[in-house]
Amino acid sequence: MDIFLILYLIPLLSLFLLICKIIERKRNQSCYILDYQCYKPTDDRKLSTDLSGKIIMRNKNLGLNEYKFLLKVIVGSGIGEETYGPKMVFHGREDNPTYEDGTDEMDEFFDDCIGKLLARTGVSPQDIDVLVVNVACLTTSPSLASRIIKRYKMREDVKTYNLTGMGCSASLISVNIVESVFKCQKNVNALVVASESLSPNWYTGNDKSMILTNCLFRAGGVAILLTNKASLRDRAMFKLKCLVRTHHGARDEAYSSCIQMEDEHGRVGVNLSKNLPKAATRAFIDNLKVISPKILPMREIGRYAFLSFLRKMRTKSQKGPRPMIDFKTGVDHFCLHTGGKAVIDSIGKSLGLSEYDVEPARMTLHRFGNTSASSIWYVLGYMEAKKRFKKGDKVFMISLGAGFKCNSCLWEVVGDLDDGKGNCWNECDIDKYPPTSLANPFMDKYGWMNDKDESTFVLPEE
């Protein structure tokens, strides 16, 4: 009898141990954000209306038509007067930036942002096991990752990933790399650093598809500390639930819709083609098709499928508007890519969002501009500073970038975020946001250009 009992218990015990092993493995594979720090340059780096006008008029390659075009773009961009530019434009050297301009811009960001993050969390540089650095348009030797390791004296066995050319959606690619490492190794701390170097990429030609970037992109960056250590779960802010990446680089029009190139005079810039909205829309839709079943309740997926089926069955004359998925059934907050006012409007409309939902993205664009891959983290910071989060809330991030790529993910709030910690928005007097008007003074100051004729136009004396 005892032998039969033992033979019966052995497989049950084995099954129990296997289940425990799977649960333990899952626990150690979780990806948590311990803290993050968005970069806020000093006030002397703000691009006011007056200074922006002077920078534009310093470009001798521009004529009245280009001035009118820039005026229209800037007025409708959603960008305010408190965004930040690289030092070299304040020194009037945008036409001939040096290599050091690019590296100094990054060093300034590294020293401020990473230093504050590590000091606030109490994590030593020696405790960093994985370092992922993403800066799209600057390549150095040694790499930017090596500059950080040297600056903070990190361990000799730290694993590094140095990403370039990945565009505005790259911070989620960096998170995905960390997530993959966490699935293979236990008790790991990872530092993700995302920014953009504007100094060597300020376009000084007159190609309208390339001068657009000067109107939208601004200085900024983010440092994010992630971990899969079970012992640090109680200190975490967010837990990653899922992440989806979509890449349409195999399509010619998508690949060339946002591309760094030289104009006909050899001036380097980023060309934003007319195909960009179409490429962005396709990538966005394909990404949503994959992530929606992962983040929405089955009742919403079923409702949408049923309504779509009914519409398909109706005759052409009876078909009404296409049914929409209600993303608010599975998402509480939305971190939208701040690619521009039109991008925010388009994504907000596609997801059926209210003005309250898109407010964080609008305010980020207004206050900080498009800071490339770090933009969505400023949006997250705005919501944190406004005390919108409560434990258990789901936060949906979606970003678009050159390639053409669309990357998205869902975070769960797992910690108490009431104090705001070192959020850069708390240094911006968060209570004054949103302002009553987002209008900038460019039209008031330079609207007279619209009444001028190209054949007789002369820039006024300062």
- Active-site amino acid positions: 168, 247, 333, 337, 366, 370
Which segments of 161-316 does DSSP mark as H helices, in order?
Answer: 170-184, 208-216, 252-255, 276-295, 298-313
Residue pair 290/246 in contact by the 8 Å Cβ criterion: yes
Q: How far is CA 69 from the centre of its chain?
A: 27
CA distances from residue 65 to 254, 451, 455 in whole angstroms, order as listed: 28, 12, 11
Provide the pairing of β-strand 221-227 with 189-195: antiparallel
Rounded CA-CA distance 131/113 in Å is 15
Tokens of 300: 């919403």
Provide the pairing of β-strand 394-401 with 333-336: parallel
What separation, in Å, do the N-terminal and C-terminal C-alpha atoms of the chain show? 103
Rounded CA-CA distance 59/75 in Å is 19
Residue pair 84/424 in contact by the 8 Å Cβ criterion: no
Residue pair 104/87 in contact by the 8 Å Cβ criterion: yes
The torsion region of residue 227 among left (phi > 0), alpha (psi -120 to 50) and beta comes to: beta
Supply the DSSP symbol for 170. H
With vertex at residue 144, the alpha carbon angle to CA 213 and CA 399, rounded to the nearest 5 degrees, is: 45
Instruction: With CA atoms as reference, report the closest residue to 405 among 256, 295, 284.
Output: 284
- 269, with CB counted inside 10 A (0-12, 13-18, 19+), is buried
Supply the DSSP symbol for 370. B
Tokens of 218: 């601004």
Residue pair 343/169 in contact by the 8 Å Cβ criterion: no
CA distances from residue 25 to 34, 38, 237, 430 in whole angstroms, order as listed: 20, 32, 21, 41
Cα torsion angle, 113, 182, 34, 247, sign = positive
CA distances from residue 160 to 81, 88, 112 in whole angstroms, order as listed: 37, 30, 20
